[in-house]
Amino acid sequence: MRRGLKTRRSVLALSGTAMTALAGCSGSNSSESGDGESLGLELYYPEPRAVSTDQNNRDFTVEIQNTGDSGDIAVTFVWLEEANQDIWGGDTEIVQTKERYYDSDERREITFTRDVPDRYEGFGFRLWPPQLRTEIYNPGREARIEAILLNSNEVIKEAELEIDSDETVEHVFEYDFSQEEPRDIRVEAEVVD
């Protein structure tokens, strides 16, 4: 639960698309710390892009390009009742999720081997980085900072961090979007009373 807040927020947002769980780039934003100075907020994360998909008998392959920072990329393979349906729709069946480390700008394939159940006409891949690394800089007095990971208005994760004056603290948010579509992913950081 949120506690009493003393200052304005630092917010960094990531946008989502149907095929990739998260899109965007590393960025920064700021708000005021307890002394009226700006908090700094930086995010680092991979940006998985599906370049192509292929089926060869029982092998289902997605080629992924990481256009963001180095890190893990998660891929969830799903069956679709209809070939053209939304991969995040309710008529999908999750088959398996794999995580692989990708360097920045790396491109390679991930393959799933399965027999196709009779009732499904298609397949798909849900892609997202399972970790967001955030760095928060406090130029003001020592403070407790609340960092919040949100999907639209839903709080996914919270962390309370002690940050000394003129210190940068790193925090890694881990999360699972194998079942829930990422919509408006963002991180907020606030000084807590």
pLDDT of residue 192: 85
pLDDT of residue 35: 55
Domains contained in the chain, CATH given: 10-45+132-192 (no CATH), 48-128 (2.60.40.10)
The per-residue pLDDT string of the chain (193 residues; one tens digit each, 9 = 90 and over) reads 323 223 323 343 343 332 332 222 223 444 455 555 678 888 899 999 999 999 999 999 999 999 999 999 999 999 998 888 899 888 889 999 999 999 999 999 999 999 988 888 889 999 999 999 999 999 888 989 999 998 888 999 999 999 999 999 999 999 988 888 887 788 888 888 6
| CB-based contacts of 53, cutoff 8 Å, min separation 6 | 60, 61, 62, 63, 123, 124, 125
pLDDT of residue 26: 29
pLDDT of residue 34: 52
pLDDT of residue 89: 85
Structure tokens at 126: 């849900």
pTM, full prediction: 0.77
